[in-house]
Amino acid sequence: MTKKGRVFSGARPTGRQHLGNYLGAIQNYVALQEDYDCVYCIVDVHALTTVETTQELRQNTVEMALDWLAAGIRPEDSILFVQSHIPQVLELHAYLSMVTQFGKLTDLPTFKEKVRQQPENVNYGLLGYPVLMTADIVLYKTDIVPVGIDQAPHLEFAREIVRSFNYRYNTKVLIEPQVKHTEIKKVVGLDGKDKMSKSLNNHIELAATPEETTARVREMVTDPARMRRTDPGNPDVCNVYTMHKIFSSPEEVDMVNVECRRAGIGCVDCKKLLAANLNTHLQPFRARRAEFASKPEYITEVLNDGARRARVIAEKTMEEVREAIQLP
Ligand code: SF4
| SS3 per residue for 202-266 | CCCECCCCHHHHHHHHHCCCCCCCCCCCCCCCCHHHCHHHHHHHHHCCHHHHHHHHHHHHCCCCC
- The CA 26 to ligand 1 mean position distance, Å, reads 28
Q: Please report the sign of the dihedral spanned by the C-alpha atoms of residue 115, residue 187, residue 299, residue 87.
A: negative
Backbone angles phi, psi at 52, to 5 degrees: -95, -30
Cα 295 → chain centroid: 24
Closest atom of ligand 1 relative to the 235 alpha carbon = 3
Q: Which of 191, 220, 222, 243 to mutate to test the pocket of ligand 1 (most atoms within 8 A of CB)?
A: 222
Q: Atom 4, ligand 1: which residue's CA is nearest?
A: 260
- The predicted pLDDT at position 184 comes to 65
- The predicted pLDDT at position 2 comes to 82
- The CA 274 to ligand 1 mean position distance, Å, reads 10
- The predicted pLDDT at position 282 comes to 97
Question: What residues form DSSP beta bridges with 253?
Answer: none
Residues with CB under 6 A from ligand 1: 222-223, 226, 233, 235, 238, 240-241, 256, 260, 265, 267, 270-271
Closest atom of ligand 1 relative to the 226 alpha carbon = 5
Spell out, as residue ranges, where the chain has pLDDT lower than 70.
1, 184
- The CA 221 to ligand 1 mean position distance, Å, reads 9
Closest atom of ligand 1 relative to the 257 alpha carbon = 3
Closest atom of ligand 1 relative to the 220 alpha carbon = 7
Instruction: For the beta carbon of residue 6, count every other beta carbon within 10 angstroms.
Output: 19
